[in-house]
Amino acid sequence: MKNIIVKINDAVQTVQEVNVVTNDGQPTVIKATKNVNYQFIDRATGRGPDHIVTKRVGQDLHISLEDEGKESDLIIEGFYDQDGAAALIGQAENGQYYYYVPDTGEVADYVTQLVPGDIEGQALGGESVVAPWWLGATQTKAAIWPWLLGGLLGAGAIAALANDDDDKSSNDNNSTTPVQPTPTPVASKPTVTPSTTDGSVSVNPGTGNNEVPITFTGEDNQPKKVTAKKDTQSNTWTLDDPNGTGATINPQTGEVTIPQDSVKDGEKVTAIGKETGKNDSEPVDGNAGTDSKNAEVDNSNNDGVVTTSVNEGEVQVTTVKLTNNNGAELTLDDVVGSANADDFETLEFSNGVTVDNNGKIIVPAGVKEFTISMKTVEDSTTEGDETVQFTIGGVKGNEATIKDTSTTPKTATPTVTVTNKDTDNNGADDKTTISGKTEPNAVV
């Protein structure tokens, strides 16, 4: 995507200026003017594009300002109704101005000579001229066009022809001093205001404007464009949003709001004021701020917090889904259920999610889903199946089960054998012996 200024220059000055955004799916359309040069300026370089692609459609000229030439970025309606009295021009790296001439070098492929359906690449070339003003002259009712003669006669010869024509006109018609055209007024500038609390951006259309195209980079890193338009009959504003960015407009004031989830953090938002009968305003820029951490648990499908059931000793995983990837600070409520703290080891979080000293879950920007892994403790005590349930960000998850797969050994029944029993009770030492088996440390 490029931002191109189109200056329409007559013999002495720029009479109109238009801004064109390439590859946005919406070609800029202007009406053709006679005896002018259409000068192209790439805002990124300050020079004319090295190469363009032209196509004649009926009496209109379609121009692609990208090398690929896949889309029409500018349409000059009625270009071929002007008897060839117009040219395309640009400034090269050396600071000189050149006309756009066909890649083939054939006269029939010059932009003024195209027949309907012709598509030809055009590049800056031929003899240079010192200014972007219109130099065309007429002589005996036949047009002398400098871009056709530039490669043959040079700029000096062109000027001589023009002067010769002026002399004849002066002698024949007693011409008077030409009236200087009144400069075309310029539309007012819109206002671009980034939010100071989040990543959203608002655009005020400016006084008198009836159209404001706005370009920016989306969260998906792709170029976006919305256009605010005012209906002069109803005096209300509407928004053209072909990319479905989610931008909104106030129908009374024309103020456009681009939500923080639609524009990439820190990227430029550009707006241009347009008013019927005036030149476009200079572009106005503003950089989007940083998205606020406003993500919440997305429980729209009752699956915002889901915990798996596992066997004792396995890792139990809880998946948490969020409404966006702006980041969040979520509460981690007590884990409830029949299981207790002795049944778990330390919780582990994925995707850079952490827990602060206050027990809050800190989700960094860019994360829309994360997991909590909890290793269950395998013991030798038969406790039966236990349950566990997480509540995160106020959203209660499902009740999961920890299946007890252990068994507790039965306590052995002691066996006792008595030998050498003392039966006479004569007061002598008792020689009775007791032996047997039981659990260690058992009292017999």
CATH class held by domain 191-287:
mainly beta
CA 409 to CA 382: how far, in whole Å? 9
Domain ranges of the chain: 3-173, 191-287, 305-403
Sequence-distant (≥ 6) Cβ neighbours of residue 392 within 8 angstroms: 297, 304, 305, 318, 320, 330, 331, 332, 333, 361
pLDDT score recorded for residue 177 = 44
pLDDT score recorded for residue 444 = 59
Mean pLDDT, 10 residues at a time, the chain of 444 residues: 91 91 88 93 92 94 87 93 89 90 88 92 87 64 43 42 45 46 77 92 94 94 95 93 94 95 92 90 92 84 85 88 87 74 81 89 90 83 78 86 66 60 59 60 59
pLDDT score recorded for residue 288 = 93
**Residue 123 class from Cβ within 10 Å (0-12 exposed, 13-18 middle, 19+ buried)?**
middle
pLDDT score recorded for residue 89 = 94
pLDDT score recorded for residue 349 = 93
pLDDT score recorded for residue 357 = 84
pLDDT score recorded for residue 406 = 62
pLDDT score recorded for residue 154 = 41
Is residue 21 within 8 A of residue 71, CB to CB? The reply is no
pLDDT tens digits, 26-82: 899 999 999 999 999 999 889 999 999 999 999 999 999 987 778 899 999 999 998
Could you tell me where the beta strands, DSSP code E, fall in 140-200? 142-144, 191-194
Token pair 């007061």 is found at 427
Give the CATH number of domain 305-403.
2.60.40
pTM for the full model? Answer: 0.44
Classify residue 178 by its DSSP letter.
P
pLDDT score recorded for residue 179 = 45
Sequence-distant (≥ 6) Cβ neighbours of residue 192 within 8 angstroms: 201, 202, 203, 269, 270, 271, 284, 285, 286
Of 257, 267, 270, the C-alpha closest to 200 is 257
pLDDT tens digits, 148-184: 444 444 444 444 434 444 444 444 444 444 444 456 6
Instruction: Please determine whether the domains at 191-287 and 305-403 fall in the same fold group of CATH.
Output: yes
